[in-house]
A and B are shown apart, each in its own frame.
Chain A
Amino acid sequence: MVDMSSFAEAGADLELVGIQKRFPGFTAIEHLDLKIPAGSFFALLGPSGCGKTTTLRLVAGLEDPSTGKILIGGRDVTALKPHKRPVNTVFQSYALFPHMSVLENVAFGLRRRRIGDPVAKAHEALRLVELDHVADRKPAQLSGGQQQRVALARAVVNRPALLLLDEPLGALDLKLRRQMQQELKQIQQEVGLTFLHVTHDQEEAMTMADTVAVMNKGRIEQMGAPEELYELPRTVFVANFLGQSNLFEVEVAGTTDQAVQTALANGARITVPRSRSERDSGQITVGVRPEKLRLHVQEPTADASINVIGPGRITDVSFIGVSTQYTVEVPGAGAVQVFAQNVEAGPAAHLGDQVWLSWLAEHTFGLADDRLETGALTADFSTQAIAAQAAFAGDGE
C-alpha cells in the first residue's frame, strides 16, 4: 500500500495495462494501454461517450476494470478502494459537500488522513485559489467559478501523487475558463503534481497539456505532444476532431524513398513526405490544415516542394476577425477550407472569384484510414447503447 501519511512532493507515474471495461449493454473501454510519466500534465481528449470519463473513474477507483491492471508509482493499486489510493479528483459537478463550509470542504481529506494542522493547510490552499475570504461560507452561496476553485483547492491540498480532473471547466464562461486554464497549469508546475485532465474541448487540451491522447470509442487513437497531434494526425477522427482538416481521397501513383506521389480523381498531383504518410499504396486519404493553404488569383508556377490544386471558385467568405475563412469548390477535390490571416485589412479575395490553392508539400499528411461513406465523424453507436449509457449515468439528479 502506498504510504499515505506524507505524499508526493512530486507526482508519481500512472500506468494502465490491458484495461477493458464492460457495462451491461455496452463496452466503454475496448483496450487501453497507457503510461503517464510523473510530473506531466496529460490530457485525455475525446467526444462524449468515448470512454475518457470511465478511464478517469477507473484510475480513481470509483469503478473496477473488467480486466487489466492499474499501477501508480509502480505499485499495483487495482484492488485498492478509492479512499486508500493516493489520487484525488476534481469532479465535473464539483461535488462540494453542501452541508459543510468551504473551509471544512477543503480540510476534509486532510482530516481523514490525520494530517497535522488541517485548518492552516486548508487556508493555504484557499489562498492559492484566491478564495480565503469566503472560507466560512457554504458552497450554495458561491458562484460556479468559485465553486470550481474550491473543488480544485479541496483536491490539491492533499498533494496527491496523481490529480484527476473531469472536465472541470465545462460550466465556466469563456473568460473565466481561460483564466482557470492558466492557473491550473501554473499550479501543476509549481507543485509538481501529475495531472490527468479529461475534456472534450480540444483547445483546452492543447493549451494546458504536455501530452494529449485522443480517445474514440474506447480506444486511444493517437497520443503525443499537442503540436505533433495537430500537425501530424494519423486517423480521420483525429484530423477532424482536433481542429479542422481538408481531406482528399487519392490514388498512390508512385513512391520514392522521400515521398509518396498521389493523384486526385481529376489527375491533380499531391505529394506527401514518406515520413508523414501512414500508407504508401492503393487508395488512401491525405489531408492538409486550412491555415496552411494560400490563395492565388493566377495559376502558380509548378515546384516540386509545393502542391497545387485548382482552379476553383470561392463559394463562401466568413470574416472571423483574426482571419477570414474561405470555402473553395475545386472540381475533383470537393469543398476546400482556407483560413487566411488578415495581415492586410480588407479581404484578399471575393465571393465567386476563381482561385488556385497551394501549400508546402511537407505540410501534407497521409492517414491510416478513410472517411466513412456517410461522411459522419464516427459510426453511430446503436441507440440502445446510448440509452444504456444514459441510464447508467442517470443518478445524482
Chain B
Amino acid sequence: MNRFSLGKAFVPVVGTVALIYLLLPIAHVILFSFNQKRGRNNIMWNGFSLQNWQNPCGAPQVCTAFGNSILVGVVATVAATVLGTLIAIALVRYKFKGRSTVSLLLFTPMATPEVVLGAGLAAQFLLAGVEKGIGTIILAHTMFCISYVVVAVKARVASLNPAIEEAGRDLYASPGQVFWRVTLPMLMPGIIGAALLSFALSFDDFIITNFNSGTATTFPKFIYVSALKGVPAQANVLASIVFVGALLLVIVVQMVNINRQKRLSRA
C-alpha cells in the first residue's frame, strides 16, 4: 500500500530541478570542448570536432596558465595542510591561553570576502616592495587554505577515540611513536580530505589571485582575461579533463568504501 501525496513529491521534484540547474552548465562546457573552431569565439555551436582535444595546448598561454595553477595548487596545498594539521591538533588536544583568539584568527578569513583578502594582501606586497608573481600567488593561496584545513582536520581529530592512543602508550610506544604510528594514520583520511579541499579551492581561485598575480597567469585568470575576446575551446578541453579526472577519483573512493561495507556485512 502506497501513501502517495503531493507533499511527498515536493522534495524529489525540487531537488531534481536543483540538480539540473547545477549540472546544466557543466554539460555545456564539456559539449563546447568539442566545438568546431570558427573565429575566436566559442559561443555558437559550429559542429562536432575532435580538433581541440587533439591539440589541447593549441591556444596561446592556455597550457602555461594551466601548469601554473597546478604548481600553485600543489605547493599551497602542501604548505597549508602541514601548517593547518598542526594547528588543528593543538586546538583540539591542548589547553593554552588565547585559544579563543587563535580560533577567531583562523576562522575570520572564511568570513571575509575574497575582495577584501585580495586587496589587503596586494596592499601588503605593495608596501613591502615585493614583486607580484607566482610566489605571491602561492603565499596568498596558502593563507586562505589554512583555515579550511584546520576546520576539516579539527573535526577528524575530535572524532578520534582517545582509548586507541592510550593503548599505544600502554604497549610501550613513546609519545613520538604514538603520533607517527597511531595518531597520524588515523587522521590520514581527514588530512587527505582537507588536502583535496585545499587543492580544489586553490585551483579554482580567481579573485584573490587576480589581485596578487601581477603578470603571472593561472587558469582561472586566463579564462577571465579571455572572456572578453573569446575563451578558446582548449580551455574547455583542459577543464573537462580535470573534471573527469576528479570525478573518477571521487567515484573510485566511494566504490571502495561501499564495497568495504558490503564485504563486512556479508558474513
Contacts and interface: CB of A to CB of B under 8 A. Distances in A.
- Touch between A and B in complex, CB under 8 Å? yes
Interface string A354-397: 00000000000000000000000000000110110011000000
Nearest to A387: B265
Nearest to A81: B3
Contacts of B265: 387, 390-391
Contact of A387 (B1, B3, B266): B266
A383 B1 CA distance: 29
A64 B4 CA distance: 13
Interface string A66-81: 0000000000001101
B138 to A, nearest CB: 42
Nearest to B5: A81
A384 B1 contact: no
B267 interface: yes
Nearest to A390: B265
B1 A79 contact: yes
B266 A64 contact: no
Contact of B266 (A79, A81, A384): A384
A78 B267 CA distance: 36
B3 A383 contact: no
Interface in B208-267: 265-267
A81 B266 CA distance: 35
Contacts of A383: 266-267
A79 B1 CA distance: 8
Chain B interface main SS type = loop
A387 B265 CA distance: 6
A64 B3 contact: yes
B222 to A, nearest CB: 47
A384 B262 CA distance: 11
Contacts of B3: 64, 81
A64 B267 CA distance: 29
B261 to A, nearest CB: 9
Interface string A52-89: 00000000000010000000000000110100000000
Nearest to A388: B265
B4 to A, nearest CB: 12
A29 to B, nearest CB: 15
B159 to A, nearest CB: 13
A383 B267 CA distance: 6
A267 B259 CA distance: 58
B241 to A, nearest CB: 38
Contacts of B267: 383-384, 386-387
Contacts of B266: 383-384, 387
Contacts of A64: 1, 3
A37 B3 CA distance: 29
Contacts of A391: 265
Interface in B1-43: 1, 3
B28 to A, nearest CB: 38
Nearest to B267: A383
Nearest to B2: A64
B247 to A, nearest CB: 27
A114 B133 CA distance: 69
Contacts of B1: 64, 78-79
Nearest to A382: B267
A112 B195 CA distance: 49
Nearest to B1: A64
Nearest to B261: A391
A186 B230 CA distance: 82
B263 to A, nearest CB: 11
Interface string A167-205: 000000000000000000000000000000000000000
A384 B265 CA distance: 7
Interface string B61-82: 0000000000000000000000
Interface of A: 64, 78-79, 81, 383-384, 386-387, 390-391
Given A387-B266, A390-B265, 13 more contacts: A64-B1, A64-B3, A78-B1, A79-B1, A81-B3, A383-B266, A383-B267, A384-B266, A384-B267, A386-B267, A387-B265, A387-B267, A391-B265
Interface of B: 1, 3, 265-267
3 smallest beta-carbon distances between A and B, as pairs: A383-B267, A387-B265, A64-B1
8 contacts: A64-B3, A78-B1, A383-B266, A384-B266, A386-B267, A387-B266, A390-B265, A391-B265
